[in-house]
Amino acid sequence: MTTSLPDLPVEELEEGGSSENKGLNFRPYLRTFLRKAWLIGGLTCLTTFGAWMWSSQDPYTYTGNFFLLVEPITASGKLTNPTTLARTEGVPRDDLFALDYPTNLVFLTNPGMTRQIAQEVHEKDPIRPVPAIWKDLRENFEVTRAQVGQGRGSETKIFQVSYTGKNPQEVLNVLKTASETFLEYSSEDRETNIKAGVKFIDEQLPELQQRLEKLKSRQKELRQNYDLIDPLPKNQEVLTQISSLEQQKLNLNTQLQAQRKLANSLQQQLRLSSDEAFAAATLSQDPTRVALLSQLQELNSQIAVASATFTDNSPQVLDLREQKQNIETLLNQTTQEIITKNGLSVSPNSNALEFQDPTRLGLIQQLLETTNQIKSLEAQLESIEPTRQQLEQQVKRYPNLINEYSELERQIQLTEEILNKLLLQRETLKVEAAQELPWELLGEPQIPLDAQGNPIGSPPSRKKKLLAGAMAGLLLGSGLAFLWEKRRNVFYTAEDISQLLGIPLLGEIPKDDRAVLSDGISVSHLPQKKPDIVETVPNDNHHESTEEEALFLPTQDSSFLEAFDDLYLQLYIQEQGTNLRSLIVCSAEPEDGCSTIAVNLAINAAQKGQQVLLVDTNFSHPQLHNLLNVSNHKGLIDVLEGQISPQAIIESVRDIDNLSVLPMGENLKPSRKYLWSPKFNSLIEELGKTYDLVIYDTPSFFLSSDVKFMAKQTDGILLVATIQKTPQSLFKKAVKEIKKLNLPLLGAVANHRI
């Protein structure tokens, strides 16, 4: 089964305002207005005439004005203006003293100013209350800048003030009061504003001066605490000192490293530590010990010579050795005395106790000097570090000090600038307050007069009231027309069906335009010629009247016949020909001509060469056997009961090739539950395989649930609506339920049977 209807939201069907295209569709409403044009036109004429009568009672209006010169006319007047002299230091500049025209125009017509004028008018002539006068002022009081000609540069230095009212005397009173108020504003009020500015400045000066004193006091405190004039140069100076100490420390470390390397080299050559070298130098400088060492060396030489000549036990050798021992004893005593006296620390086997030749003494002296240099460098490094740390601590405090000092300097400078400007502005305002030039009234307020001296008035304008009356008539007529047709709740044209519901309109069946034959004619009484179409007068379920018998007429030009050609063509195109094998023809309510359309559509399809079967499934009121003049003794009921096969009772319609019919049958006592049975489902499948097209004539949609069951087994529903008869709400409800149950809906057919 196939369906061509796109999925539409149920909300669109409920609203009834969607069409085949997305968006709001006004065409149904336009057709409504066209159908009820006589009502809309009549009401529009009536309300327009009423508006004309109403506007004829309006009185004449009178307009008066006066002019204000708000700036000096000549250049000399500008130059002598104290504002110019005070604000431009004697050099005139238009941009500094030119009047702000837009702001003044808005101010002169603001609610506060107009209410003040209304109160003063009421005090002079208490005929009308203040709210009424104020309302007229807001609507009819106008202040503009007078112009000479058109275009840019045509503006003058004059304000034109105008007022329109129905009473000429009241118009003059309003204009006179306004002129007095504006002149007062230009002098006293503006002067008061200047004095208020002077007062404001005087109030601000003590606070600014006090703030300036506090800032300067804090700045002085910072200078005293940190002994500086400006923290930024001082910070740079300390940073320079730290950098110098770092460089000095680096140089000392370099020298210290070199001296330590030299000391290590000398110690390795002498095999003496720095303390032993000092001891060796001290011992080498004692003359007694040096003499003893010399004697000892001399005895060693003599012993060596004697040993070579004599034996070890000879008296000569023994005597020399005894002398040597005495000298060594004396040498040790002398050495110990020197060590004790000088507080030296020397081990007994140290090289420092040996005889030191001049070369070693030179190296020892160099080692001592190097050791002293190392100690000196280390002392210098130790003295640099505390100074560097102290400077670094000082530098860490400088960023915050600089920020605070800079902020104080900025605040002092800003406060001094503000203070100087306020003082200057105070003097300027005092000069302006003493010599401010007021506005000038150019002539008294007046109303145009005629030759007799009477005020010239303007006739009332009737366009607005006439237009309002016409619009009211159009709106009222349109509303009544819409409510009228809404109350009837029917489709007025075929387009309403598709545009209001958003479903395809497959066909529009007009009234039968052929010759009408007498009632009761049957197929057997017609000429034996191939028929073209069947026309019936529908009368569906639960109604006592029946549709007329089939009327077969010869082929002729007829819009009624062409309508079924178009309907069949739409179905063929929409379902791509062979895809459409079965369909249901039903309506939202009885008497919409479903049987007529089913029969004529079947005949049209049969004439196109398709094998077509008409099935009567209307248990309540079967009619196909009467319309096509076939037997109803056996039918669908008997097939469902299993008494007979469908092919045994399906009957071909006489004189119509390719068309067969399966009537309901006379035995209607069984329950309609057969339509819900698997057997009926199998029957639908069997008929769909046997025939090219199977058309089921059903009762109305809401009269029986058979339609919903059968629709699931067929290719779609063809929903019929009778123009000027079928209720829109009922038809919408049917479409909504079809969508809710996801039943295939082919489209709608509009029937013009009424």
**CA dihedral of 297, 302, 305, 306, whole degrees rounded to 10:** -140
User: Once rounded to an integer, what is the mean pLDDT over residues 219-226?
Assistant: 71
pLDDT band at 612 (very low <50, low <70, confident <90, very high): very high
Please report, for residues 533, 566, 660, the alpha-carbon distance to residue 605 in angstroms, rounded to integers and kept in the order given. 10, 11, 12
User: Once rounded to an integer, what is the mean pLDDT over residues 502-528?
Assistant: 57
User: Once rounded to an integer, what is the mean pLDDT over residues 20-41?
Assistant: 65
Superfamily of structural domain 502-510+559-751: P-loop containing nucleotide triphosphate hydrolases (3.40.50.300)
Q: What is the spatial distance between Cα 106 and Cα 523, in angstroms, rounded to a whole number?
A: 92
pLDDT, tens digit, 9 for 90 and up, residues 81-91: 555 544 555 44
User: Once rounded to an integer, what is the mean pLDDT over residues 560-572?
Assistant: 86
Q: Six-digit token pair at 376?
A: 């000196």
pLDDT at 126: 85
Structure pTM?
Answer: 0.44
Per-residue pLDDT at 516 exceeds 60: no
DSSP state at residue 673: G
Q: What is the spatial distance between Cα 174 and Cα 163, in angstroms, rounded to a whole number?
A: 8
Per-residue pLDDT at 488 exceeds 90: no
pLDDT band at 613 (very low <50, low <70, confident <90, very high): very high
pLDDT, tens digit, 9 for 90 and up, residues 100-142: 788 888 888 888 888 988 898 888 888 889 898 888 888 889 9
Q: What is the spatial distance between Cα 555 and Cα 531, in angstroms, rounded to a whole number?
A: 7
On whether the CB atoms of residues 49 and 468 are closer than 8 A, the answer is no
- Residue 549, CB-side half-sphere exposure with 13 Å CA sphere: 13
In what helix (H) or strand (E) does residue 721 lie, and over which residues does it extend? strand 717-722
Per-residue pLDDT at 208 exceeds 90: no
For residue 371, give the nearest of 302, 277, 285, 439 by alpha carbon: 277
Backbone phi, psi, residue 660, to 5°: -125, 165
577 or 421: whose pLDDT is higher? 421
Q: What is the spatial distance between Cα 167 and Cα 137, in angstroms, rounded to a whole number?
A: 13
Q: What is the spatial distance between Cα 144 and Cα 65, in angstroms, rounded to a whole number?
A: 11
Q: What is the spatial distance between Cα 190 and Cα 433, in angstroms, rounded to a whole number?
A: 9
- How close are the terminal C-alpha atoms of the chain, in Å? 34
- Any idea which of 33-42, 102-111, 153-162 has the lowest mean pLDDT? 33-42
Q: Six-digit token pair at 37?
A: 């044009």
On whether the CB atoms of residues 698 and 704 are closer than 8 A, the answer is yes
User: Once rounded to an integer, what is the mean pLDDT over residues 545-568?
Assistant: 61
For residue 564, give the nearest of 598, 601, 532 by alpha carbon: 601
Backbone phi, psi, residue 582, to 5°: -155, 145
pLDDT band at 583 (very low <50, low <70, confident <90, very high): very high
Domain with CATH 3.40.50.300 in the chain: 502-510+559-751
pLDDT at 585: 93
pLDDT at 275: 72
DSSP state at residue 703: T
- Any idea which of 57-71, 189-203, 292-306 has the lowest mean pLDDT? 189-203
Q: What is the spatial distance between Cα 455 and Cα 171, in angstroms, rounded to a whole number?
A: 11
Residues whose CB falls within 8 Å of the CB of residue 306, separated by 6 or more in sequence, listed in order: 314, 316, 317, 320
Per-residue pLDDT at 6 exceeds 50: no
Name the average pLDDT for the chain: 75
pLDDT at 57: 66
Per-residue pLDDT at 476 exceeds 90: no
Per-residue pLDDT at 534 exceeds 50: no
Per-residue pLDDT at 564 exceeds 50: yes
Please report, for residues 33, 56, 242, 479, 487, the alpha-carbon distance to residue 483 in angstroms, rounded to integers and kept in the order given. 11, 33, 99, 6, 6
pLDDT, tens digit, 9 for 90 and up, residues 295-344: 777 777 877 877 778 777 888 778 877 877 877 777 777 777 777 776 66
pLDDT at 551: 42
pLDDT at 537: 38
User: Once rounded to an integer, what is the mean pLDDT over residues 406-412?
Assistant: 79
pLDDT band at 538 (very low <50, low <70, confident <90, very high): very low
487-492 long-range Cβ contacts below 8 angstroms, 24+ apart: 489/727, 489/728, 489/729, 490/723, 490/724, 490/725, 490/726, 490/727, 490/728, 491/721, 491/723, 491/724, 491/726, 491/728, 491/731, 491/750, 492/31, 492/32, 492/35, 492/723, 492/724
Per-residue pLDDT at 542 exceeds 50: no
pLDDT band at 7 (very low <50, low <70, confident <90, very high): very low
Per-residue pLDDT at 436 exceeds 60: no
Backbone phi, psi, residue 61, to 5°: -115, 150
**Amino acid symbol at 363:** L
For residue 438, give the nearest of 64, 83, 144, 79 by alpha carbon: 83
Percent of residues, the chain, with pLDDT higher than 90? 8
User: Once rounded to an integer, what is the mean pLDDT over residues 187-198?
Assistant: 67
Q: Six-digit token pair at 105?
A: 């125009």
Q: What is the spatial distance between Cα 43 and Cα 469, in angstroms, rounded to a whole number?
A: 10
Percent of residues, the chain, with pLDDT higher than 70? 73
DSSP state at residue 303: H
Rg over alpha carbons for the chain, rounded to the nearest Å, is 64
**CA dihedral of 305, 311, 314, 317, whole degrees rounded to 10:** 30
379 or 392: whose pLDDT is higher? 379
Helix residue ranges per DSSP H, 445-491: 463-488
Per-residue pLDDT at 21 exceeds 50: no
334 or 673: whose pLDDT is higher? 334
- Any idea which of 240-244, 376-380, 543-547, 567-571 has the lowest mean pLDDT? 543-547
**Amino acid symbol at 259:** Q
Per-residue pLDDT at 658 exceeds 90: yes
Backbone phi, psi, residue 68, to 5°: -125, 125
**Amino acid symbol at 138:** R
Please report, for residues 44, 394, 477, 753, the alpha-carbon distance to residue 50 in angstroms, rounded to integers and kept in the order given. 10, 98, 15, 44
User: Once rounded to an integer, what is the mean pLDDT over residues 416-435?
Assistant: 75
For residue 18, give the nearest of 496, 719, 734 by alpha carbon: 496
697 or 149: whose pLDDT is higher? 697
Residues whose CB falls within 8 Å of the CB of residue 66, separated by 6 or more in sequence, listed in order: 161, 175, 178, 179, 441, 442, 443, 444, 445, 446
pLDDT at 536: 40
pLDDT at 547: 38
